[in-house]
Amino acid sequence: MGFPSALGGHKQQGDLMSVFKDKHVVLAVTGGIAAYKSAELTRMFMTEEAMVRVVMTKSACQFITPLTFQSLTRAPVATDLWESEGSVEINHISLADWADVVVIAPATANIIGKMSNGIADDFLSTFLLAVRAPIVICPAMNVNMYNHPVVQENLVRLKSLNYHMVDPGYGALACGTEGQGRLAELEHIVEETRFVMSPQDLTGLTVMVTSGPTRERWDDIRYMSNISSGKMGVALAKNACQRGAEVILVTGPTVLPVPYKIQTIPVGSTVEMQEAVNEHFDRVDVLIGAAAPMDFRPAKRVKGKVKKTEVPAPIELASNPDILAGVGKKKGDKILVGFAAEAENMIKYARGKLEAKNLDFIVANQIGAPGTAFTTDTNQVSIITRAGEVEELPLLPKEEVAGLILDRVLSIVSERRG
């Protein structure tokens, strides 16, 4: 039997940047040592422009004061069923109606047990039974408590009722032991909540994204590469994942953290990137080539380290395979999207690549223009379709550009499905 609030979490919204904008997040804090981390979590949701209200259990108040959250949110904090009953603002029923999403972090074995059994004996547990919005549970406790069969059974039951979970991490625990029980990374909690709040319009699609630079080794410690950061590729992978797609990210070396919940395949050279793409190509519906693979590699790989005593002979180069052009030949009914970073004649060259690589559309950007293309957090692109249309987008954060590119992919899918 399902539970309607947790079941129907996905709301149709506009672009993904605004998923939290003006949305009502209720953060529930229960009594574990990780409660102090919830202050930072509050700030993170507020940075995303969410409106946050905090509910605390009595034992949470032993770890961190309501005043901390009251100061951060500039709103009253609900701590007790009877005291807050008179207040319209934090009455448990009105707060339940107000919530667009509820995040319980940290969630103790106690609240998990109460939720699993329908117990309502304080503000939080009563409020949780009245909530119709999706609920994200972030357990945190001692490893033995977490592994206790009763706790595990409660979690399985809550999952089956469509509550969302962010599993605890492994590592040193406050109680002096080690194991699984640490509150998940706060970024992962925000990501899961973003997922819960996003339209799931790409569900059923498998999307592969190539991302970042490649490195072509010359000797054992030196390589040729380019200045690609991987930011555009990661933004695409995250956007597709948040919208319900299964995502495979094939990425060259980058400093960006491995994105939450995304199958990430790290590669070095262009040939390695091609091998990874070919290995998984059969099972993808969409391939977006956002990587900047090196077009050349040193023809000979030198063993050891080339000594600096003599200026070495010029490095002879060999051509690398073109990954997209390769899969373009066996495209079938898959959707292929490429990028074209051009220093001049952008539209003309991009059109040529669209044809040569057998793409559905290409995303062109101007090298050298301020705030766009390589390394930046923003991008100004033109989308060129097979029919020859050119859509020039304004300078936008890469996350928004990613959303618009995937909107285009979705239109092609919808057109084909009729």
Q: Which of 389, 414, 292 is nearest to 342 (CA)?
A: 292
Span interacting with ligand C5P, options 176-184, 195-203, 261-269, 291-299, rule CB under 6 A:
291-299
Q: What is the CA radius of gyration of the chain?
A: 25
Is the Cβ of residue 100 or residue 216 nearer to ligand C5P in the bound state? 216
SS3 178: strand
The Cβ of residue 226 has, within 10 Å, a number of other Cβ atoms equal to: 15
Q: How big is the site for ligand C5P, counted in residues (CB under 6 A)?
A: 14
Question: What is the x/- site pattern for ligand C5P, positions 254-283, by CB under 6 A?
Answer: ----------------x-------------
Give the pairing type, strands 169-172 and 178-182: antiparallel
Instruction: Check residue 291 for interaction with ligand C5P (CB under 6 A).
Output: yes
Q: Is 154 one of the binding residues for ligand C5P (CB under 6 A)?
A: no
Asked if 190 interacts with ligand C5P (CB under 6 A), we say no
Q: Which stretch in 250-258, 260-268, 328-336, 337-345 sits in contact with ligand C5P by CB under 6 A? A: 337-345
Our finding on whether 323 is near ligand C5P (CB under 6 A) is yes
Question: Amino acid identity, residue 243?
Answer: R
Residue 339 as a binder of ligand C5P (CB under 6 A): the answer is yes
Three-state DSSP class for 342?
strand
Integer CA distances (angstroms), 241 to 175, 248, 280, 393, in order: 35, 9, 17, 23
Spell out the long-range contacts of 69-74 with Cβ–Cβ below 8 A and sequence spacing 24 or more.
69/27, 69/29, 69/38, 69/39, 69/42, 72/39, 72/42, 72/43, 72/46, 73/42, 73/46
Residue closer to ligand C5P by CB (options 88, 227) is 227
| Residue 324 binding ligand C5P, by CB under 6 A | yes
338 is a contact residue toward ligand C5P (CB under 6 A)? yes
The answer to the question of residue 353 lying near ligand C5P (CB under 6 A) is: yes
C-alpha–C-alpha distance, residues 302 and 188, integer Å:
42
Check binding of 31 to ligand C5P (CB under 6 A): no
- First CA to last CA across the chain, in angstroms? 34
Residues within window 192-231 making contact with ligand C5P, judged by CB under 6 A? 210
Is residue 138 part of the annotated active site? The answer reads no
List residues with catalytic annotation.
175
Residues of the shown chain interacting with ligand C5P in the complex, contacts defined by CB under 6 A: 210, 270, 289, 291, 293, 295, 320, 322-324, 338-340, 353
